[in-house]
């Protein structure tokens, strides 16, 4: 790649010191050739610039926005950006990914990444208009919700279409469940990144760009783009997601043990509850239209409006499958407008609903068991199915009022404070609240969630492929396994997780969506498609194997960051204790649980595939040097984080 070309890139990394007000740029080429873009470059910058002794809410932590290599081009779904920082929840990698128009606009302005450090003396937002970059007074929008913030900044700048990423009251008040919102409804969720942004007195980033994103080989690129779009349009799984969004087949989710009923006390919800919040009801009674973002071939987001009842006039973008898990399942709420309301509240407060609902459902179970009383809950009765109480506690978390101040810490920290055996009911991975069931939902799903570098979540290796009936020849061709045994088999599942860890790292670094990849079905885009698009866009030829090796490299950088900053090892790669001690109590998956011995074997295989040490779960010198990460190996060796 020539250092002078900007094919598919903006070309610059923008560095903003909020303490001094200094704004500098450097070349993207210092990082892109090795780490691609988006999440890959973000996490290398994070690794390089943040020392292990820096606290997540300290000024010296970095908050990094990154666009993907293909963002801003016509590559299908290349509309995503990554946000990365040291996490105030896990103490390790805090990493999130979101869609919208923000990423492409940042690229059009000439920037691939924006790195924030320091802390402003008073609230500010960053205004980027091509080469003009200014820190603006944000006192007018401090304290406002994300929607109000977007409206006021656009009014101030005189442009109603400016893409904005911002925080709400939750981020300002350093709630660990705070997220960063773009386009009013697209969350860079999990990991507490909104709290990091709030700790820097940074309210928003607004951007306008006027440059074009050029590709190196236009004819070849458009040929590959056309082929990729046709592949996606022909896919039944993509078509189903286009019609229903992510909120589809709740009955199937229920039967397969994907619904965390009453804070995971079960993985099956009473079908009568599900029948009142079906996708058909949302489509018939509340859907206004479908929504999609830059270069999206699916448009899986939907806009809803409530026209009658207590929530009449409510309108917002949603609903997602996580609403089914977080509000229908965790609290047994069966009133569709209430689910829309809770979804909207999380968006406006800037709360990640997975983390927030995890802490609240922990409190509900503690109340059920007499560990918490009304004296502890500001007089609120925490009763399952009470959506008004859930809404009030979301508000309390965002503003850190009363019981909300405790729950803003997340279930793990809250349980450490309360004690009294409440730790058993804090369902988390590496300190981060869980939304994913693991007992009946499939073993590669469970393993991917447990070993995820960002602390739980299903977008770093977990997958649903094991539940699909894939022919053996396809299994061998894509994943290198002769067949995929059923979801409840442990055999071969580590191979699937390692494959999807690499693929997801590549997708996040290219700026493309998981739903367009073979994560959603074997007929969708895979490494060959992605390598072709990358090669034609940048002019630098890369094979699918080389691209997946980049994914492995990126994953190992994150693993090393966790090892240095959070001290994670093999003992942290296990599911919540409840999933190994308490079987599913009802439904088709009744009796299912994870077993220690089988998990240990699966974990051994997972470490072997990565080239890591099985006894400790730590990386090895050889693994890191083979990936051209010798400086990382040296860092780990100095603090004895490499196995002898």
Residues 111 and 211: their CA atoms lie apart, in Å, by 10
Q: Which helix (H) or strand (E) holds 608?
A: helix 596-610
Mean of the per-residue pLDDT values of the chain: 96
Q: Give the residues across from 132 on adjacent strands.
A: 129
Where do the structural domains in the chain lie, given as residue ranges?
Answer: 12-208, 248-428, 443-511+543-638
Which pLDDT value is given to residue 34? 97
Segment 149-156 shows an average pLDDT of 98
Which pLDDT value is given to residue 318? 82
Q: Which two tokens stand for residue 193?
A: 């990144």
Q: Which residue has the tokens 């070993």?
A: 451
Task: Summarize pLDDT for 269-312 with one digit per residue, the tens.
Answer: 999 999 999 999 999 999 999 888 888 998 888 899 999 999 99
Q: Are 371 and 418 in contact (CB under 8 A)?
A: yes
Alpha helical stretches, state H, 452-574: 472-479, 493-510, 527-538, 544-565
Q: Which two tokens stand for residue 7?
A: 């094919």
Q: Are 366 and 335 in contact (CB under 8 A)?
A: no
Which pLDDT value is given to residue 5? 66
User: Hey, is 500 helix, strand or coil?
Assistant: helix
Residues 505 and 508: their CA atoms lie apart, in Å, by 5
1 pLDDT tier (thresholds 50, 70, 90): very low
Residues 39 and 77: their CA atoms lie apart, in Å, by 16
Does pLDDT of 199 surpass 50? yes
Residues 60 and 62: their CA atoms lie apart, in Å, by 6
Q: Which two tokens stand for residue 394?
A: 């979301």
Task: Summarize pLDDT for 237-264 with one digit per residue, the tens.
Answer: 899 998 888 888 899 999 999 999 999 9
Residues 283 and 244: their CA atoms lie apart, in Å, by 8
Domain 248-428 = CATH 3.90.550.10: no
Task: Summarize pLDDT for 301-321 with one digit per residue, the tens.
Answer: 889 999 999 999 999 998 899
413 pLDDT tier (thresholds 50, 70, 90): very high
Which pLDDT value is given to residue 2? 41
Does pLDDT of 20 surpass 80? yes
Structural domain 443-511+543-638, CATH architecture: Orthogonal Bundle (1.10)
163 pLDDT tier (thresholds 50, 70, 90): very high
User: Hey, is 466 helix, strand or coil?
Assistant: helix
Does pLDDT of 4 surpass 60? no
43 pLDDT tier (thresholds 50, 70, 90): very high
- CB burial readout 159-172, b (16+ within 10 A) else e: eeebbbbbbbbbbb
Question: 583-586, long-range: CB within 8 Å, 24+ apart, which pairs?
Answer: 583/439, 584/257, 584/266, 584/267, 584/268, 584/439, 584/440, 585/265, 585/266, 585/268, 586/266, 586/268
Does pLDDT of 592 surpass 70? yes
CATH T-level fold of 12-208? Aldehyde Ferredoxin Oxidoreductase;  A, domain 1 (3.60.9)
Q: How far is CA 288 from CA 292, 297, 306, in A?
A: 14, 19, 10
Does pLDDT of 3 surpass 50? no
155 pLDDT tier (thresholds 50, 70, 90): very high
Residues 319 and 326: their CA atoms lie apart, in Å, by 12
Write the Ramachandran bin of 389: left for phi over 0, alpha for psi from -120 to 50, otherwise beta. alpha
Which pLDDT value is given to residue 382? 98
Task: Summarize pLDDT for 346-389 with one digit per residue, the tens.
Answer: 999 999 999 999 999 999 999 999 999 999 999 999 999 999 99
Nearest to 526 by CA among 483, 470, 479, 471: 479
User: Is the pTM value of this prediction over 0.85?
Assistant: yes
Which pLDDT value is given to residue 485? 87
Higher pLDDT, 242 or 342: 342
According to DSSP, residue 192 is labeled T
Does pLDDT of 212 surpass 70? yes
Alpha helical stretches, state H, 256-296: 261-264, 271-274, 279-285
Instruction: Give the pairing type, strands 124-129 and 23-27.
Output: unpaired
Task: Summarize pLDDT for 503-561 with one digit per residue, the tens.
Answer: 999 999 999 999 999 999 999 999 999 999 999 999 999 999 999 999 999 999 999 99
Nearest to 252 by CA among 234, 230, 274: 274
390 pLDDT tier (thresholds 50, 70, 90): very high
Q: Which two tokens stand for residue 340?
A: 């829309």
Residues 6+ apart with CB under 8 A from 205: 65, 102, 114, 125, 126, 128, 164, 165, 166
């Amino acid at each position: 790649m020539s250092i002078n070309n900007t094919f598919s890139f903006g070309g610059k990394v923008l560095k903003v010191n909020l303490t001094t007000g200094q704004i500098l740029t450097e070349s993207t080429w210092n990082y892109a050739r090795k780490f691609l873009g988006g999440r890959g470059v973000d996490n290398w910058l994070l690794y390089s610039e943040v020392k292990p002794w820096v606290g997540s809410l300290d000024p010296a932590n970095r908050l990094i926005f990154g666009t993907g290599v293909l963002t801003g081009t016509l590559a299908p779904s290349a509309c995503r950006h990554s946000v990365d920082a040291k996490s105030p929840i896990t103490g390790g990698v805090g990493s999130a990914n979101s869609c919208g128009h923000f990423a492409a606009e940042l690229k059009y302005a000439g920037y691939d990444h924006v790195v924030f450090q320091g802390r402003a003396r008073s609230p500010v937002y960053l205004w980027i208009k091509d080469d003009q970059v200014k820190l603006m007074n944000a006192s007018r929008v401090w304290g406002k919700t994300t929607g109000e913030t977007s409206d006021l900044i656009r009014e101030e700048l005189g442009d109603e279409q400016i893409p904005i990423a911002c925080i709400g009251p939750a981020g300002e008040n350093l709630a660990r469940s705070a997220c960063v919102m773009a386009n009013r409804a697209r969350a860079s969720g999990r990991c507490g990144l909104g709290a990091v942004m709030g700790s820097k007195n940074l309210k928003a980033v607004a951007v306008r760009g006027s440059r074009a994103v050029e590709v190196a080989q236009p004819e070849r690129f458009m040929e590959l783009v056309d082929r990729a779009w046709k592949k996606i349009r022909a896919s039944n799984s993509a078509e189903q997601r286009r019609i229903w969004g992510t909120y589809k087949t709740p009955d199937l989710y229920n039967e397969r043990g994907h619904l965390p009923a009453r804070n995971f006390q079960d993985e099956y919800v009473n079908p009568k509850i599900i029948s009142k919040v079906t996708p058909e009801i949302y489509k018939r009674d509340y859907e206004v239209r479908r929504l999609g973002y830059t270069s999206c071939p699916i448009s899986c987001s939907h806009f809803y409006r409530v026209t009658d009842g207590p929530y009449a006039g409510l309108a917002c973008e949603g609903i997602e499958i996580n609403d089914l898990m977080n509000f229908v399942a965790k609290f047994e709420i069966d009133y569709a407008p209430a689910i829309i309301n809770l979804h909207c509240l999380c968006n406006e407060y800037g709360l990640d609903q997975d983390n927030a609902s995890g802490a609240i459902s922990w409190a509900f179970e503690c109340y059920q068991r007499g560990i918490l009383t009304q004296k502890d809950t500001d007089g609120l009765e925490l009763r399952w199915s009470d959506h008004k109480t859930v809404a009030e506690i979301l508000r309390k978390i965002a503003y850190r009022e009363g019981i909300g101040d405790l729950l803003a810490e997340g279930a793990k920290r809250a349980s450490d404070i309360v004690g009294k055996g409440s730790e058993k009911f804090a369902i988390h991975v590496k300190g981060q609240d869980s939304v994913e069931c693991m007992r009946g939902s499939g073993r590669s799903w469970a393993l991917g969630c447990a070993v995820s570098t960002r602390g739980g979540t299903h977008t770093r290796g977990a997958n649903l492929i094991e539940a699909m009936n894939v022919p053996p020849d396809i299994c061998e061709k894509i994943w290198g396994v002769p067949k995929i045994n059923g979801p409840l088999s442990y055999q071969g599942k580590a191979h699937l997780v390692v494959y999807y860890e690499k693929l997801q790292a590549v997708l996040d670094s290219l700026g493309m969506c998981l739903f367009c990849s073979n994560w959603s079905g074997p007929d969708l885009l895979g490494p060959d498609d992605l390598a072709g698009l990358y090669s034609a866009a940048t002019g630098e030829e890369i094979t699918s194997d080389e691209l997946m090796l980049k994914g492995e490299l990126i994953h190992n950088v994150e693993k090393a960051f966790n090892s240095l900053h959070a001290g994670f090892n093999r003992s942290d790669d296990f599911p919540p204790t409840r999933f190994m001690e308490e079987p599913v109590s009802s439904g088709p998956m009744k009796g299912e649980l994870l077993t220690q011995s089988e998990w240990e074997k699966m974990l051994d295989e997972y470490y072997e595939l990565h080239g890591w040490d099985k006894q400790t779960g730590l990386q090895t010198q050889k693994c890191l040097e083979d990936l051209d990460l010798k400086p990382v190996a040296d860092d780990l060796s100095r603090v004895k984080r490499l196995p002898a």
